[in-house]
Amino acid sequence: MFIDKASYMEYNPKYLFAVGKLRVYERKLINKATLTQLVECNGFQELVSILSERNYSDNISSVEKPKDLENLLFDEMSNTIGEIKKLSHDDEVTNLYLFRYDMQNLKLLIKTGKNSEDINHALLYRSVIDTENLEDSIKEEIFYVFPESLRDRIKTIWLEEVQEGNLQEAEILLDKLWLETGCRYMKDSGQIFLRDFFSVLIDLYNLKVILRTKVMNYDSERVRGYIAEGGFIDKSVMLNSYNMELEGMVKSFQSSDYNKIIKQGVEYFERYNSFWKFEQLCSDFLIEFVNIVKFLAASVSVLIRYLVIKEIELKNLQAILIGKNNGLSTEQIRQNLGCAYA
């Protein structure tokens, strides 16, 4: 393992209250037993009943139809982001992670088109940047709303990729920009766990890039510009694996911590022509990784951990809701889920 757990024993007394509060919130998180109940329940009303018994949300009693639950899940994540911002004593640290939601919003703006009337309906959670300000900045092509560390590069991506119609390239480069910026900041600020967490995110992003671009038969020099630096696996290793067949790519990572993700992800793709299994295994890996700091008494890392598991939990609930609405079997729904936090 590349992880040195002993180095993550950080302690910041400013976070004693915050971590204590998150311990209370954590009791409402969906564990494996409850997740199984939700998957196996008979329809929407029983699903809501199980969540009510768990006291999942203060507003669960107002849920009457699937759209209500969909809105509640959205509000849950929005409220979680807001709470983490309030509990943090290190705004730059938490904002760098939270900016991933602003990046998602920016990518949605790119997809829908800056003049689309449906922009507001596409935007996700309010995070560091107010969604209205983000929308206005893109419409006017003024990039002042973005952090100084990202502003110039985002402007370049917008002018060189988005305006030229290279939307997929723009989305990839925005992800790369966020990850590399976050990793550098955490390293410089001495946030050891979060530095390594960003390195893991970079590795998973790079693996995703080489797999997807391999299938799409991208030129290797083009892919070189997409690979992010700062991961545990060197950029050159990633690029070398790209020049292999899928079977060789799997073998090249068989001694790494990502062996299961690559092996099972590729096997599933070859059978079903889908990267769903790869994405699921990445989520499972992230939960396992962030749980290293589960029992820290006082640390900003615990706040980021809670965000990660809460987001994955909500994705699971959304997948169950969609599955029930579309009449999928229990097994089909189960296959669309990541793991629960406990």
73-104 residue pLDDT tens: 988 888 999 999 999 999 999 999 999 998 88
Residue 340 has pLDDT above 70, yes or no: no
Name the token pair of 281.
Answer: 């295994």
- What are the residue boundaries of the structural domains of the chain, listed by start? 10-64+294-342, 73-190
Task: Report the distance separating Cα 104 and Cα 329, nearest Å.
Answer: 31
Amino acid 3: pLDDT: 62
**Percent over 70 (pLDDT), the chain:** 94
Residue 297 has pLDDT above 60, yes or no: yes
Residue 289 has pLDDT above 90, yes or no: yes
Flag whether the pTM goes above 0.85.
Answer: yes
Q: Sorting pLDDT into bands at 50, 70 and 90, what band is 192?
A: very high
Q: What is the pLDDT of residues 228-240, one digit of tens each?
A: 999 999 999 999 9
Task: Report the distance separating Cα 3 and Cα 19, nearest Å.
Answer: 23
Q: Sorting pLDDT into bands at 50, 70 and 90, what band is 123?
A: low
Task: Report the distance separating Cα 215 and Cα 249, nearest Å.
Answer: 12
Residue 228 near residue 184 (C-beta atoms within 8 A):
no
**Percent over 90 (pLDDT), the chain:** 43
Mean pLDDT of the chain: 88
Residue 177 has pLDDT above 90, yes or no: yes
Torsion of Cα atoms, 258 then 263 then 268 then 270, to 10°? 130
What's the mean pLDDT in 122-130? 75
Q: Of how many residues is the chain composed?
A: 342
Name the token pair of 235.
Answer: 């950029």
Name the token pair of 102.
Answer: 């602003």
Is the domain spanning 10-64+294-342 CATH 1.10.132? The answer is yes
Task: Report the distance separating Cα 258 and Cα 256, nearest Å.
Answer: 5
Residue 204 has pLDDT above 80, yes or no: yes
For the chain, what is the HEC assignment?
Answer: CCCCHHHHCCCCHHHHHHHHHHHHHHCCCCCHHHHHHHHHCCCHHHHHHHHHHCCCCCCHHHCCCHHHHHHHHHHHHHHHHHHHHHHCCCHHHHHHHHHHHHHHHHHHHHHHCCCCCCHHHHCCCCCCCCHHHHHHHHHHCCCCCCCHHHHHHHHHHHHHHHCCCCHHHHHHHHHHHHHHHHHHHHHHHCCHHHHHHHHHHHHHHHHHHHHHHHHCCCCHHHHHCCCCCCCCCCHHHHHHHHCCCHHHHHHHCCCCCCHHHHHHHHHHHHHHCCCHHHHHHHHHHHHHHHHHHCCCCCCHHHHHHHHHHHHHHHHHHHHHHHHHHCCCCHHHHHHCCCCCCC
What's the mean pLDDT in 262-278? 90
Residue 136 has pLDDT above 90, yes or no: no
Amino acid 120: pLDDT: 53
Amino acid 333: pLDDT: 85
Amino acid 135: pLDDT: 81
Q: What is the pLDDT of residues 242-262, one digit of tens each?
A: 888 888 888 989 889 999 999
The residue ranking higher by pLDDT, 119 or 176, is 176
What's the mean pLDDT in 49-61? 87
Task: Report the distance separating Cα 22 and Cα 26, nearest Å.
Answer: 6
Residue 183 has pLDDT above 60, yes or no: yes
Q: What is the residue type of 132?
A: E
Q: Which of 282, 283, 285, 303 is nearest to 294 (CA)?
A: 303
- Least confident range of 26-30, 111-115, 124-128, 329-333: 111-115
- Least confident range of 11-15, 68-72, 225-229: 68-72
